[in-house]
Structure 1
Amino acid sequence: MSWPDDDHQQDSRKRAAQYVRMSTEHQRYSTENQADAIGLYAEQRGYQIVKTYSDAGKSGLRIKGRDGLTQLLDDIQAGKTDFKTVFVYDISRWGRFQDADESAYYEYICKRAGISVEYCAEQFENDGSPVSTIVKGVKRAMAGEYSRELSQKVFAGQSRLIEMGYRQGGPPGFGLRRMLIDGAGNQKGILVRGEHKSIQTDRVTLVPGPADEIAVVNKIFRSFVNDMQSEAMIAADLNAKGITTDLDRDWTPSVVRQLLTNEKYIGNNIWNRSSFKLKKRHVHNSPDSWVRSEGAFEAIVDAGLFVAAKVIFAAKAQRYSDEEMLDGLRDALETYGFLSGIVINEASALPSSGAYQSRFGSLLRAYKLVGFTPDRDYRYIEINKRLRKIHARIIHETVGGIEQVGGLVQHDKKTGFLTINHEFSASVVIARCTQTGAGAYRWNIRLDTGLLPDITVVVRMDQANETPLDYYLLPTAEMTLPKLRLSESNGLSLDAYRFDDLTQLFAMCERTPILEVA
């Protein structure tokens, strides 16, 4: 059989892949524009682009969450490639890693497998020469420095908005609502949960919520200040009356404490209590680093009442020496026979469990100092009740999300097993957050080896075990052990399956009509 000359010429070209990435920094770095530039570069050098790896809307500060680059490296390491070259627009698209050696390492993975990386918009050839090595090192450092400078500019801009009285993310809180404001300062309407502004010049501020919620907030403050009720007593009373939080959950002592200590209820805008700059670890900042704007919102609690609550908390924290706190803990151990976060929070004569964690580093260390070694952590009793409710809610939301995209799902309510589109199965597992004696956070996962679902949806909880932190979609075929232990960073082998939400799962379940495919 003879082939047309054009087809023969196309088949004879060298095969290459391209990697494109777009964050939110500038339109000229759109993935389409990058692909156009790479295509021209490849054509001039006799290459054929046979595969595209893409990360749209992803930061280049770290590899976590960059599924395109992760997949590229996995394919290369597994030998699943039919190309010998990877084209990237420039070094900054490969990544703005704060450690330039990380960028070099990922390129080395390609080189070690016999895959070369070429940067199409750079003014040097990536040929391994001393000049190219030096220039790449400088460019990688410049890419990381750009992100550091941009982070500082963004922080300054956000601080300015806080000082002007605008809200920077997060739920409003019980008794408050988010109000959308246009560039001229006119109110546009209340944002309900899940809604966000769509115009860059719009801003968000806080306004008083429904009168019944405001009354509850003030009742909480009066119960704490005037009636000397503990946070645990207040939470129990609210739950007994069927009043839920703004997130439709039961009240806990920690949630009550957060309400009683948050200055937004007296109209103050506080920001930068914690930070996550340059995608590094979350850190809690000292009060002198906080950005404040007093009187930014309309207060719904009297300032005098708030100050009185603040004085009570300060007195609780300061009136006990280390030995007095431990003596109180010994008395509680003798009274109850065991210790737990619940026991501590419900004991009116003791500071909160959070105070013990802050003073001694962790509750387990405080337990050890008074001679108590728990057979089990009795905080799990309260946490288990909450996690059972969260598990049921996640199942409900998952089934609803699958059905919303047109998928068919059968839910076995006895086992929680999901059968989707008669094609594959899934199981939902809640991963509780625990803290080691050294202060590190861990998530232990037991995979379902009985039902053997095709995919295990792991919901990793936050440090307080109150809200989902992220999600892992683990394929059973790739899991070799029945138990997994996750840390905050787990490497490519596991974090490649990590997602911020369940959008990826819903996309897998979406069904497309045959006519649309055709």
Structure 2
Amino acid sequence: MAAAEVGEKSGAKLPSIRAAQYVRMSTEHQKYSTENQADAIAQYAARRGFEIVRTYEDSGKSGLTLDGRQSLKQLLSDVRGGRADFTAILVYDISRWGRFQDADEGAYYEFVCREAGISVHYCAEQFDNDGSVSATIFKSVKRAMAGEYSRELSVKVFAGQCRLIRLGYRQGGPAGYGLRRQLVDEHGAAKGELSRGEHKSLQTDRVVLAPGPPNEVEVVRRLYRMFVVQRRTEREIAAALNAEGLTTDLGRPWTRGVVHQVLTNEKYVGNNVYNRVSNKLKAKRVTNLPEMWIRADGVFQAIVEPDFFEAAQRIIQDRSRRFSDQDLLDRLSALLAEKGWLSGLVIDEVEDMPSSSTFRQRFGSLLRAYELVGYSPSRDYRYIETNRALRALHPEVVAQVIGEIEAAGGVVRRDPISDLLTINDEFSASLVIVRCGQTAAGSNRWKIRLDTGLCPDITVVARMSATNEAIQDYYLLPWLDVGATPSLKLAPDNGVLLDAYRFDALDPFMDLVRRMPLRAAA
């Protein structure tokens, strides 16, 4: 029973109970705005004698996981760290606390609060969270229902996307070199071309792929001729295109990987393929077997002849089937005996040798392949593999950041040479991915090299985890504060002077670029 209710029965006026409110709105539930939640919580607080002294708000955040919900993370951190100046947490209902796929996860976060002496109240639920058997049962059912709602919604959304794929409509992603995204209305009539970062505004509109500029279309066709007729490798084709001064659709030089992507993507023969990879309900990203793909053939205008495409696939498949694992290791052993040492460059320079990327893909890394043939480099070359992976990751992260900026209503220009971002014509930003290394004592360290030539207003540092497999956190470093230092070394904990700029996600950066509508002054 709350303090005010006890006071009413005894006739005494007791002090209000200090409380924090947590509100969340996901993109699936616009009708449950944070304002409406706050109103309902305020009414609950007035009836029960709570004084709301702090608000934690996650707007536009999914409740499937804790990832990205910075306010809930901060709330839990304040509770764990003893910084909470309240003894109760008010939440609209259990679904706003989270739609965790494991109901025990939501229960655990509530337990963390309760263990610190802070109770959690669900203001719109038809039960009091008082620890009784009935309340515990109701909560368990509600948590399961909240998670099940997300699962059912995921199934419905996926079914809708599959239907649109089969009808020939594009479901997200860039068009790619030689193609463009075409906006059409509900009757299939063309409405215009969508530029990079632009999205359809009407629910009934759809997006299809259409041939791009004639010069790009010709480059794609010539690329296939070089591969199928001239039997040139992807690396040779990339070098030839770069020598002509041609760039990709992202304004970057051609690479072996980009050429390979053009040679293997069915969209160039007009096929619409979906569900090659899955990342449902924020779960781990998985690659699906071909029989799980959703496809519609011949729904776009092809810019490559089907015969050329099929010939390219046969060449690629024959090349990958040519060597067994033992064949690859035998060739690597012979090369080691001839050269006395191994490297990716040495492997790639041998004419009839499978590329170094083949060994990476087959054995997980070059170092693993070296181990299998009994070769131990004189120094630890693992950082080379890590750096190679981070170089491949960098354009993906830059593209993701650009997409999030545009989604937030910002305008961004990217320098194709330096990758410097100019945002809203107000400030510049540079993105740096920093690998994790270890000291001789086994401690983790991160070395940041700041670009003194670009002098960006903000350097966005993506700090990798200890295994260098995922981004651990971000530092937003203002040039005014750190620009005088060309490099910085980070430890797991760096004190307030540096860790004041540390964030688990890029939400604070997006707050800087987000455009807010302002009412005209009277």
When the two structures are superposed, what TM-score results if normalisation uses the length of structure 2? 0.78
Question: SS of the residue aligned with 1:404?
Answer: coil
Q: Tell me by how many angstroms 1:224 deviates.
A: 0.7
Q: Tell me by how many angstroms 1:58 deviates.
A: 0.7
Residue equivalent to 1:243: 246
Give the residue type in structure 2 aligned to 1:183: E
Residue equivalent to 2:363: 360
Residue equivalent to 1:472: 474
Gaps of 5+ in 2: 1-11, 399-413, 438-443, 482-487, 494-499
Change in 2 beyond 3 A, CA 1:481/1:154: same
Question: SS of the residue aligned with 1:28?
Answer: coil
1:445-460 alignment runs, 5 A limit: 445-447=446-448, 457-459=460-462
Change in 2 beyond 3 A, CA 1:447/1:186: same
Q: Tell me by how many angstroms 1:65 deviates.
A: 0.4
Residue number among 478, 486, 490 corresponding to 1:482 in the alignment = 490
Residue number among 166, 170, 178 corresponding to 1:175 in the alignment = 178
Residue equivalent to 2:203: 200
Change in 2 beyond 3 A, CA 1:56/1:335: farther
Question: SS of the residue aligned with 2:20?
Answer: strand
- What's the % identity of the aligned pairs? 53
Is this contact kept in 2: 1:328–1:349, CA < 8 A?
no
1:134-153 alignment runs, 5 A limit: 134-153=137-156
Question: SS of the residue aligned with 1:87?
Answer: strand
Residue number among 425, 431, 446 corresponding to 1:404 in the alignment = 425
Residue number among 315, 320, 328 corresponding to 2:318 in the alignment = 315
Partners of 2:433 and 2:306 lie apart in 1 by 41
Residue equivalent to 2:328: 325
1:192-341 alignment runs, 5 A limit: 192-333=195-336, 338-341=341-344
Residue equivalent to 1:497: 504
Residue number among 85, 88, 91 corresponding to 2:88 in the alignment = 85
Q: Tell me by how many angstroms 1:359 deviates.
A: 2.9
Could you report, residue by residue, the CA deviation over 1:159-202 in whole angstroms, capped at 9, with x for unpaired residues?
Answer: 11111111111111100001111222221111111111222222
Is this contact kept in 2: 1:344–1:350, CA < 8 A?
yes
Change in 2 beyond 3 A, CA 1:469/1:171: farther
Change in 2 beyond 3 A, CA 1:132/1:203: same
Give the residue type in structure 2 aligned to 1:97: F
Is this contact kept in 2: 1:220–1:234, CA < 8 A?
yes
Query: How many residues in Structure 1 have an aligned counterpart in Structure 2?
Result: 464
Is this contact kept in 2: 1:31–1:56, CA < 8 A?
yes
Q: Tell me by how many angstroms 1:85 deviates.
A: 1.1
Partners of 1:40 and 1:209 lie apart in 2 by 57
Establish whether residue 36 from structure 1 lines up as the match of residue 21 from structure 2.
no
Is this contact kept in 1: 2:436–2:446, CA < 8 A?
no
Residue number among 52, 55, 77 corresponding to 1:52 in the alignment = 55
Partners of 1:41 and 1:387 lie apart in 2 by 48
Q: Tell me by how many angstroms 1:84 deviates.
A: 1.2
When the two structures are superposed, what TM-score results if normalisation uses the length of structure 1? 0.78
Partners of 2:394 and 2:154 lie apart in 1 by 39
Partners of 1:282 and 1:354 lie apart in 2 by 22
Give the residue type in structure 1 aligned to 2:506: F
Change in 2 beyond 3 A, CA 1:183/1:229: same
Is this contact kept in 2: 1:232–1:346, CA < 8 A?
no
1:59-74 alignment runs, 5 A limit: 59-74=62-77
Give the residue type in structure 1 aligned to 2:39: D
Q: Tell me by how many angstroms 1:499 deviates.
A: 1.9
Is this contact kept in 2: 1:270–1:292, CA < 8 A?
yes
Give the residue type in structure 2 aligned to 1:118: H
Could you report, residue by residue, the CA deviation over 1:128-161 in whole angstroms, capped at 9, with x for unpaired residues?
Answer: 1222122212211221121111111111111111
183-192 vs 88-97, which moves further? 183-192
RMSD: 4.1
Residue equivalent to 2:108: 105
Is this contact kept in 2: 1:231–1:345, CA < 8 A?
no
Give the residue type in structure 2 aligned to 1:210: P
Question: SS of the residue aligned with 2:31?
Answer: helix
Is this contact kept in 2: 1:470–1:500, CA < 8 A?
no
Change in 2 beyond 3 A, CA 1:365/1:498: same
